[in-house]
Amino acid sequence: MNEQRVAVLGAGSWGSALAHLLGSKGHAVMLWDRDPDLIAQIQHSGVNTKYLPELPLGETVTATSSLPDALEDANWAILAVSSDGVRAVISEAAPILTPATALISAAKGLEADTGLTVSEIIHDLLIGHPYAGPVVLSGPNLANELVRGIPSASVVASTDPAPARAVQALLMTERTFRIYTHTDVKGVELGGALKNVLAIGGGISDGLGFGDNTKAALLTRGLMEMTQIGVAAGGDALTFLGLSGVGDLLATATSRLSRNYRVGLGLSEGRDTAEIVRDLHRVAEGVPTARAAQLLARRYGVTTPVFDAIAAVLDGRKPPASLVEELMSRNAREEFPF
């Protein structure tokens, strides 16, 4: 693909990793963030010392805290803020976005109060805009592995296959980042978002001293609950068998490095959610998404005992051990239909 101008919105670890990857492919990248101190630091050193220390972002990556500057003449805008920041960024971008800039969502999460996915928030805000998209990117991608050149794979989805294929060409590299296309936008987004809630459950289970058997049971039953929500929302069950579903669950729900998993560990020690999140100094997407998942389960009439139990522990309504107790004490039943 010819040199492209790409705005990456959000200079966290994932946004910075994507900026680095695109820069290394020869594209002109503008990395935007709302935080002027972070941007000044990146401009000064060429490194995001806060989120991706020791990695020179490369000569073709520049940083700005001006959204109009970032979006000017951009062929692409990649949204890489946390899901609770999406509404503000897109609202601010709406008056200056033109159809010449194609949107990519690299954010994983659901809006707590509405249950909307990131692409739904964007559609909501850009009604009337002559714009198609966004293409969503989701998969088992730890940012610090991708930037070290560790082979990684991911999925890009758009209802019409053409935009996803263009993003595949934009992002894919020969040895490091393998991209598959998909048309199930809803399923891909819900997988990437809901698995963060299950990662909290994995942390609770391990923190309480349960075993690999217990964690596998909780995560698998939880995966089936999220598949049901996805199918009710119009997604395809098989999507959850793929990289944005099972793949992401494998990479994060079992990793002690995952922020959501660490929220679960904290809960297992009897600490409360607000305190744990404060001490993390980073966003744990699973916390608001747990609330959104409850909303979706009620909306679609899906029974979700694992998600319910995690939400109840997060809210302090039930003790951490209830997560396992309630799964084990349910009536004997068949595995399928769900």
Quote the least distance from Cβ 327 to a second copy, whole Å: 7
Quote the least distance from Cβ 177 to a second copy, whole Å: 9
Quote the least distance from Cβ 19 to a second copy, whole Å: 18
- Residue whose CB is less far from a second copy, 175 or 281: 175
Buried b (16+ CB within 10 A) or exposed e, 162-196: ebbebbbebbbbeebbbbbbbebbbbbbbbbbbbb
Residue 108 catalytic? no
Q: CA distances (Å), 298 to each of 46, 199, 294, in order?
A: 47, 21, 6
Find residue 9's DSSP bridge partners. 32, 79
Supply φ then ψ for residue 285, to 5 degrees: -60, -30
Q: 212: Cβ–Cβ under 8 A, 6 or more apart, which residues? A: none
- Residue whose CB is less far from a second copy, 42 or 146: 146
- Using CA atoms, how far apart are residues 73 and 188, in angstroms rounded to an integer? 29
Instruction: Reduce the DSSP state of residue 271 to 3 states and report it.
Output: coil
Which residue reads 């033109």 in tokens? 98
The catalytic residue among 25, 108, 186, 195 is 195
Q: 30: Cβ–Cβ under 8 A, 6 or more apart, which residues? A: 5, 6, 7, 8, 62, 63, 64, 69, 70, 74
Quote the least distance from Cβ 21 to a second copy, whole Å: 13
Interface residue list for a second copy (CB under 8 A) = 140-142, 145-146, 148, 150-153, 155, 161, 168-169, 172, 174-176, 178-184, 210-217, 219-221, 223-224, 227, 236-243, 246-251, 254-255, 324, 327-330, 332-336
- Residue whose CB is less far from a second copy, 105 or 228: 228
Quick one: which H or E segment has residue 154? strand 152-157
Quote the least distance from Cβ 164 to a second copy, whole Å: 8
Quote the least distance from Cβ 98 to a second copy, whole Å: 28
- Residue whose CB is less far from a second copy, 121 or 179: 179
- Residue whose CB is less far from a second copy, 131 or 180: 180
Which residue reads 């010449």 in tokens? 100
- Residue whose CB is less far from a second copy, 278 or 333: 333
User: DSSP secondary structure string, 286-305?
Assistant: HHHHHHHHHHHHHHHT---H
As annotated, the active-site residues are 195
